[in-house]
Amino acid sequence: MIIRPRPHGWQLLYILRGSIVPAIAPKVASIFVLAVAVAAFAELAHPPGIERVSVAPFTLLGLVLSIFLSFRNNACFDRWWEGRKLWGQLIFEARSLARLCTTLLAGQPQRAARICRLCIGFAHALAARLRGQDAALAGLPWVDEADRARYAQRQNMPDQLLAMIAAETTAALRADEIDSILYAQFETRLHALSSVQAGCERILLTPLPFAYTLLLHRCAWMFCVLLPFGLASSLGWATPVVSAVLAYAFFGLDQLGEEMEEPFGLEPNDLPLDAMVRTLEIDLLDSLGERPLPDPLQPQRYLLQ
């Protein structure tokens, strides 16, 4: 995620870090070159009938395309925002679980510490799973040596970590460290964490319909490729500039929606999972009284991951 002050004045013209310009620059450049060729042909060759080419159809097509792009970007932003809400809920549920551990298991500090550390491992493993990384390796440092053989038995490592937390709370119930009512409080937190994982996996594994995305890609390209032919007769040598600006707008909206469609990746506008995992880690270690605490992650060149 890009963290920087809102640009103003001349900054609007040259800021590249965090924008979609690097991703769409080749497309805009290709449209600009095409528009130069079309404008040169129209101005120098003066082909017959060029005056009859009207820009009116492109106005209608551009209006329809912008509406479709807006609908798609709204759907993509909903996915991005739902992912952020799920991770906010994960942090909330993890803090609640840590509070239960430090109060209800105050007489068993080792068990409370194991549960909190397993919860931190769950967050690390879930972030790695959502980004296509090694979830087992991400959660391994937070698992006790004695439990690592059991930890490697599952492919779904975040769910395995929740199962290990459930085993700890069940052991506390059987040892009469907590009663069944308090045990239900732990189960409620685990259920919520499992629900967060399922929600994130739903976003990850259910992209927008491919046919809808393909239609918008094709329409954006057709509009931008044909636009210089409609502008050349009326704008002349200004055609490349106007074509490039409109290509920047349409290709930019298309690219921005594509980035937000998968909010858990490593693109500049994706969610800062590493920073949120570090926040959870700091809070839970702090609840256990461990020192020193790790530092919060800070943006590097305005990019927070």
Distance CA 187, CA 191 (A): 6
pLDDT of residue 85: 96
pLDDT of residue 267: 84
CA atoms within 13 A on the CB side of 231: 29
- Average pLDDT for 199-215: 88
- Average pLDDT for 131-140: 90
User: Taking all residues of the chain, what is their mean pLDDT, rounded to a whole number?
Assistant: 85
Distance CA 118, CA 161 (A): 6
pLDDT of residue 210: 84
**pLDDT over 90 (residue 238):** no
pLDDT of residue 7: 63
Instruction: Tell which wins on pLDDT, 235 or 290.
Output: 290
The torsion angles phi and psi of 303, rounded to 5 degrees, stand at: -105, 120
Distance CA 156, CA 260 (A): 25
Distance CA 276, CA 124 (A): 10
Q: How confident is the model over 142-199, as pLDDT tens digits?
A: 988 877 777 777 788 999 999 999 999 999 999 988 888 988 999 999 999 999 999 9
pLDDT of residue 117: 94
Instruction: Tell which wins on pLDDT, 165 or 14.
Output: 165
Distance CA 158, CA 205 (A): 16
pLDDT of residue 23: 83
pLDDT of residue 52: 58
pLDDT of residue 50: 55
pLDDT of residue 75: 87
- Average pLDDT for 129-150: 86
Q: How confident is the model over 35-92, as pLDDT tens digits?
A: 898 888 877 766 665 555 666 777 777 777 888 888 888 888 999 999 999 999 999 9
- Average pLDDT for 265-277: 89
Q: How confident is the model over 76-129, as pLDDT tens digits?
A: 899 999 999 999 999 999 999 999 999 988 888 899 999 999 999 999 999 999
pLDDT of residue 108: 87
Distance CA 294, CA 121 (A): 15
pLDDT of residue 4: 66
Distance CA 256, CA 67 (A): 15
- Sign of dihedral through CA atoms 74, 76, 79, 80? negative
Per the CB < 8 A criterion, the answer to whether 278 and 93 are in contact is no
Per the CB < 8 A criterion, the answer to whether 258 and 65 are in contact is no
Kindly give the residue spans of alpha helices, DSSP state H, lying in the chain.
11-14, 21-40, 56-104, 109-130, 135-139, 148-151, 157-174, 180-205, 210-235, 239-261, 273-287
Please name the residue that has the structure tokens 């001349």: 10
pLDDT of residue 16: 65
